[in-house]
Amino acid sequence: MKHLHFDIEKDGFYGAYWKCKNKTDAGVIAMLGDDPEDYLAKKCVKWLNNLGFNVLTMSPGKKDYSHHNYPLERIEKAISFLKENDNKKIGIIGASTTGTLALTSASYFSDISLTIAFTPSDFIWQGFAQGNKDGCKEWPIDGESLFTYHNIPLPYMPFCYQHPEYWKIFKEECKSTGNVAASRRIFDDSELAHPIKEEEFIKIENINGKLVLIGAMDDSLWNTAKYIRRMENRLKNKPHKCQEEIFVYEYGTHYVFPQSLIKNIFPLCSTLLLKLMFKSAKENSKECKNTRIDIEYRLLNILKDWKNAWNTILYQSWCGLVINLLLKNV
């Protein structure tokens, strides 16, 4: 697949741009996976390209899902690139940590007119790194937030477990729950120890355009259903710019993706792999699949409406211009 590559040192962000074969003026920043050119990113690109979108994939670095003091300026520079390359509509999609990044970015940058967040949190938490440290594959970074802006760390909820206890708790919960990834205890205990302050919540009321929040109650990584409901209540109590669509399912696991995207990622054995990864996917396989099918139906309509809305606006503007010219000549 032909694409442009971007490096932090030269371009100000790490990513790749995948232009749709058919001409379009809608570009989407997609942050799925730990590298903008890996297998998962390419599958997401194919899914979005086929729907008629240019795609800019991003990650913190090469094969790197660590998020600590990640500069929001990188998203800002990516938006500038999309605008400079004839993308009049700009969307952003993220899942899990990058779902939180998508929400935070959209709350800062009004050029984003579509925000889709799969399994996000509604607050910013302590930054973390992944790799290998003292036998641990993930650990919190002392004194660092998930994100920064203008070199200032955004206020965050600190974890009550630090290195190496953090990874020990993670592994214990995975074993006790039968999931390959489980960190609810880390997040629940941390919120109990440090009730989230207003400055740590994402200001979703500042998001422009369409806001889509998707999660499931059986998510084993954190209580995304609670976080999404909290965002729903926030919007009810605050003046806001966005038009929200909120989908919380009983079953779906942390991988609440559209069914066709999941099948695209795991073409031969998607159901089996999900069963091996998440206990709920094994015990509630049919319900999880129905969730993914419903998400696909809803998302395809949302993406279609968002893409076509711009054409409608252009047409209405053109008609208004013609009418004004005609009236001036009467």
Question: Quick one: pLDDT band at residue 73, thresholds 50, 70, 90?
Answer: very high
Q: Which fold has domain 4-130+143-153+196-328?
A: Rossmann fold (3.40.50)
The two tokens of residue 250 are 């009983």
pLDDT above 70 coverage of the chain, percent: 94
User: Whole-angstrom Cα distance, residue 207 to residue 196?
Assistant: 21
31 three-class SS: strand
Tokens encoding 136: 């641990």
H-type alpha helices, 54-207? 73-84, 97-108, 165-177, 184-193
**Helix, strand, or coil here: 26?**
strand
Q: Kindly write down the DSSP assignment for every residue of 104-133, as one continuous string.
A: HHHHH-TTEEEEEEES--SB-BEEEEEEEE
Mean pLDDT of the chain: 94
Determine the average pLDDT of the residues in 113-140.
Answer: 97
Q: What percentage of residues in the chain have a pLDDT greater than 90?
A: 88
174-192 average pLDDT score: 98
**Span 25-38, pLDDT tens digits:** 999 999 998 899 99
Q: Give 110-123 pLDDT, tens digit per residue.
A: 999 999 999 999 99
